[in-house]
Amino acid sequence: MSLSHDFIAFACNKGVLRFGEFKTKAGRLSPYFFNAGLFDDGASLARLCDFYAEAILAANMGYDMLFGPAYKGIPLAAGTAIALAGRGRNLPFCFNRKEAKDHGEGGTLIGAKLAGRVLILDDVISAGTSIRESVDIIRAAGATPAGVVIALDRQERGTSELSAVQEVEKSYGMPVVAVATLTDLIGYLRGHAELERNLDAVTRYRENHGVA
């Protein structure tokens, strides 16, 4: 089985990937919803970060450290650093806090100093706001944003004819790696009788809002 296939099965079994009718940030009615916040125990977070680590290693990108934007990126960066260390790739990691601390060491960054080529870890890319803020933080520290790793690429149009992921790639000149995509999800639905009833709705949604 492929990494994406195994990840979608895991997300469905955990109830992180659900089917029905959900309103997206863009105001669209989506037949599926992905809520990474429901990876909410030690075992599921560890497995999620294993998927991130495998996707990073398979992508063969150049990177020196990990950055997790507050808040969902924080456990992703820490957990993926642990998963990569277990695979022989020990990396520093850093994350930000939303409000600057006015005591102790102060500042908005926690962890290793941002330096070199930095991978940004997040759950999904919707409007790209979190990525834009992360890029600004990394560049302000004198480091270089090297890429983004997300769990699911919805492959739907952003503010243009490009997808939100493609807009990030074009704007910042860096790759976005997804553990799984909408195309992977559709392929998974076709092979599972208990979920196949959702296939028509998901396929129609891609035809209406998706990108090639």
What average pLDDT does the segment 86-92 reach? 98
User: What percent of the chain clears pLDDT 70, i.e. is strictly above it?
Assistant: 96
What pLDDT is attached to residue 91? 98
The number of beta carbons lying within 10 Å of the beta carbon of residue 15 is 9
Quick count: other Cβ atoms within 10 Å of Cβ 175?
15
Residue 98 appears among annotated catalytic residues: no
Considering the chain, what percentage of its residues have pLDDT values greater than 90? 82
Q: How confident is the model at residue 128 (pLDDT cuts 50, 70, 90)?
A: confident
The yes-or-no answer on residue 101 being catalytic is yes
The catalytic position among 23, 25, 98, 103 is 103
Q: Tell me, what's the pLDDT at 101?
A: 57
Model confidence band, residue 106 (pLDDT cutoffs 50, 70, 90): low
Report the run of H or E that residue 97 belongs to, with start and end.
strand 93-101
What pLDDT is stored for residue 203 in this prediction?
96
pLDDT of 104 > 80? The answer is no
| Number of other CB atoms surrounding residue 143 within 10 Å | 19
Under the banding of pLDDT at 50, 70 and 90, the label for residue 1 is low
Q: Choosing from 23, 101, 113, 192, which is the catalytic residue?
A: 101
pLDDT tens for 31-70 read 999 999 999 999 999 999 999 999 999 998 999 999 999 9
Predicted pLDDT of residue 163: 93
Strand partners, 96: 109
Q: Average per-residue pLDDT in the chain? A: 93
> Which CATH code is given to the segment(s) 3-209?
3.40.50.2020
Torsion of CA 98, 99, 102, 105, to 10 degrees: 10
pLDDT digits (tens, 9 = 90+) for 50-59: 999 999 999 9
Q: pTM of the predicted model, to two decimals?
A: 0.93
Comparing 104 with 97, the larger pLDDT belongs to: 97
Instruction: Read off the pLDDT band of 159 (50, 70, 90).
Output: confident
* Domain segments of the chain as ranges: 3-209
